[in-house]
Structures are given as structure tokens and as C-alpha cells.
Structure 1
Amino acid sequence: MMAGGISDAKPSTPDVQQLADQMKSHIEQKENKIYPVFNAVEFKTQVVAGTNYFIKVDIGQGKYMHLRVLKPLPQMNEAPSLSGYQTGKVASDPLNYF
């Protein structure tokens, strides 16, 4: 994969679930909802000045959410941040750049 390109979708890993978990409270606050189910199922990455993670999250009852999380370069010594998210998704919706 070249810098700037988006990888193919891969099954979620514990590290990706941890990134999603770190963003959960931010999303709950923005949406004014509590998500008892918040399971990362797959992800794509994009190398930028750090790494963008596009994460498909199962939020229960057949509903999904897509997250975009920026994980800065290690030398930046900054926490990952939520760059955006999309609601109203289903399992068959592909992860695309947004």
C-alpha cells in the first residue's frame, strides 16, 4: 500500500477494538445515546501524518457505525482522535473514505 492509499478491509484486532473503545464516550456524548454494544468488526487504514483508521462498529440490533480515527505518529506524543463518524449503517455497507 502506498502512502495516502486506503488498505483493503481486514477483520478487527484487539488494538483496533481499543481505538474504537477510546472513541465511544465522545460519540455517546455527541449522539446523546449510550451504546451497550460497541464491537469493532473490520477496519481499513490510510497512512497520512500518522494513520487514519476506518472502523466498522457493530452497535447492536443489526445497526452499525463507521468511525474515522487518526492515530498520530508516535513522536508526536498525542492521543488518537475522532476525525468523523457515520451512523445509519448496516453490516453490508462497505467502509469507504469519508
Structure 2
Amino acid sequence: MADKVDMLGGWTETKATDEIQKISNQVKDQVERFTGKNYREFEAVEYRSQLVAGLNFLIKVHVGAEDYIHLRVFQALPCNGGEVVLRGVEQNRTKKDPLVPFIN
């Protein structure tokens, strides 16, 4: 699922695919523990990726009504097990908020 980037470590343009929903679903339990909320809706609507020693993802997820969250997710390379791990969550986001790197 690696995307073409101009250079190693650069972020791709924002896009949407069905494959990113699968990654989002893999971390949903981690997101719910992190936020203390249970999400009935959990639809990945767009993402950006960054090739490092694996893949970093910034994912915008619609969680109901006008509510969105941003996820920071790391996926290890297949040769390293391919594990998908939640690295951060930004709550209280809107549909228009851009996906930008964050740390929390």
C-alpha cells in the first residue's frame, strides 16, 4: 500500500481509499480506549502516508454527525511483522480540518 512520494520521509497528498478503512478498523479498539468513547460510526474518509521504516498514516475518521477525529497510525514493514499501532488521536476535528502531522 506504499504510495509514491517525492522522497523518503515525505508525506503524500491527501487521498481516500477502501484500504485505509481496514487499517482504521484495526486500531478502533485502541482509539476507543484512548478517547474513552465508543464509536458507532467509524468511517475513514481520507488519509496521508509517509514512508519511513514502515508507514506512518494520518487518517481523518468520521465518527458521527459533524464529528471527526484524526488518527496517527504506524504500520511496520511486512518483514517486521506488519503490526498496526495507534500513535495518537486528535479529537474535536471537523470535515474541513486539514490532515497535518501531530504528536500527543
The structure 1 segments of at least 4 consecutive aligned residues displaced by more than 3 Å after TM superposition are none
Question: Which residue matches 1:73?
Answer: 77
- Structure 2: which amino acid aligns with 1:18? K
Secondary structure class of the residue paired with 1:6? coil
Q: How does 1:29-68 map to 2 (within 5 A)?
A: 29-68=33-72
Distance (Å, rounded) in 2 between the aligned partners of 1:33 and 1:77: 29
Secondary structure class of the residue paired with 2:92? strand
- Alpha-carbon distance, 1:17 to partner: 0.2
Distance (Å, rounded) in 2 between the aligned partners of 1:51 and 1:78: 10
**Percent identity between the two aligned chains:** 38
1:83 aligns with 2:87: yes
Q: How does 1:6-45 map to 2 (within 5 A)?
A: 6-11=11-16, 13-45=17-49
1:35-70 CA-partner distances (Å, limit 9, x unpaired): 000000000000111010110000111010000110
Query: Which structure 1 residue ranges, 5 or more long, are not aligned?
Result: none
1:3 aligns with 2:8: yes
Query: Which structure 2 residue ranges, 5 or more long, are not aligned?
Result: none
